[in-house]
Amino acid sequence: MPELPELESIAAKLTESLVGKTINKVQVLNHIILYGTTVEQFENKLPENTFSSFRADGKFLIASLTNNLEIVINPMLTGRIRIAGKPRKPIKEDAISIVIDERSLWYSDRKRMGRVYLIEKGNYKEVADFYGRGPSALDPDLTLEIFKTRIKRHNGQIKNVLRNQKFIKGIGNAYADEILLFAGILPFRRRATLTSEEIQKLYDAMRTVLTKFKDILMKRPLNEIALEKRDFLMVHGKHNGICPLCGNRVSEITANRFKTNFCQTCQK
């Protein structure tokens, strides 16, 4: 699942490649991923519009266009974004093709779980789960004091709190594991048991880990990011592997189809 570091990197790379470019043709290959608009509207309203900006907003990617339109993408678990430098035939996973000069922008979604919207700029009322979210995990204005104030409003296991977009937006299952390892906190700890010092460690770990991963991803091409090769992860997906911090084995628990990886030595 693309999380904040991926989406901010994708937005930066699309900005570099496509801002100022005009859409020539749009084809919806699978209507299941469209919400709040029809295939005909999506295909007919976009041509002759020009991309003016791309930005990440938590787990959403937003492309602003001329003519007061925005494309909003929530890639969910398997949504991926690529650019093809020359014409190619669609494959089974492809859902949308947007042709720009000799290149094309592709949105693919293997499980068709993602959601794509075409809206009037700034009007997100049709976008599910857009309103009511917290600040971005990498927002410069999210200070430690604001973080401490916000976290007290949420109870339950600390990993679930980190993944709760109403608390802060942009963190998913994988990066929550990474942040908690770096902070030295077990994912199953109740938020109410965390000391003020541990909350500060959590905040610092969140900033450090997400920034580090974003820096790594920014050095990779867009189409490599789409492969979701997270070879930089320390603990998530490393069941029975070696914890890079202490050298002991990584543990794993699965609940509600989500895997949690942690180090019983480093995390308390």
- Chain length of the chain: 268
Q: Are residues 74 and 110 in the same domain?
A: yes
Instruction: Report pTM.
Output: 0.95
Q: Are residues 99 and 187 in the same domain?
A: no
**Is-contact 175 7, C-beta < 8 A?**
no
- Based on its alpha-carbon atoms, the radius of gyration of the chain, rounded to whole angstroms, reads 20
Calculate the alpha carbon distances from 123 to 36, 71, 76, 239 in Å.
12, 11, 21, 43
Give the C-alpha separation, 20 to 45, whole Å. Answer: 17
Q: Are residues 162 and 246 in the same domain?
A: yes
- 110: pLDDT strictly greater than 90: yes
pLDDT for the residue 9? 98
| N-term to C-term CA, the chain | 27
pLDDT for the residue 1? 79
Please count the CA atoms within 13 angstroms of the CA of 14 that sit on its side-chain side.
Answer: 29
> Could you give the number of structural domains in the chain?
2
CATH number where 36 lies: 3.20.190.10
User: Residue 99's domain spans which residues?
Assistant: 4-120
Give the C-alpha separation, 32 to 113, whole Å. Answer: 9
The rounded mean pLDDT for the chain is 97
| Within-domain flag for 133 | no
Calculate the alpha carbon distances from 56 to 126, 136, 144, 214 in Å.
18, 9, 22, 12
Residue 237 neighbours by CB under 8 Å, 6+ apart: 174, 230, 259, 261
Residue 239 neighbours by CB under 8 Å, 6+ apart: 250, 251, 252, 259, 261
**Tens digit of each residue's pLDDT (9 = 90 or more) over 132-191:** 999 999 999 999 999 999 999 999 999 999 999 999 999 999 999 999 999 999 999 999
**Tens digit of each residue's pLDDT (9 = 90 or more) over 235-268:** 999 999 999 999 999 999 999 889 999 999 999 9
Q: Are residues 14 and 113 in the same domain?
A: yes
Taking phi over 0 as left and psi of -120 to 50 as alpha, with beta for the rest, 2 belongs to: beta
Q: Are residues 8 and 61 in the same domain?
A: yes
**Tens digit of each residue's pLDDT (9 = 90 or more) over 212-239:** 999 999 999 999 999 989 999 999 999 9
Give the C-alpha separation, 99 to 105, whole Å. Answer: 6
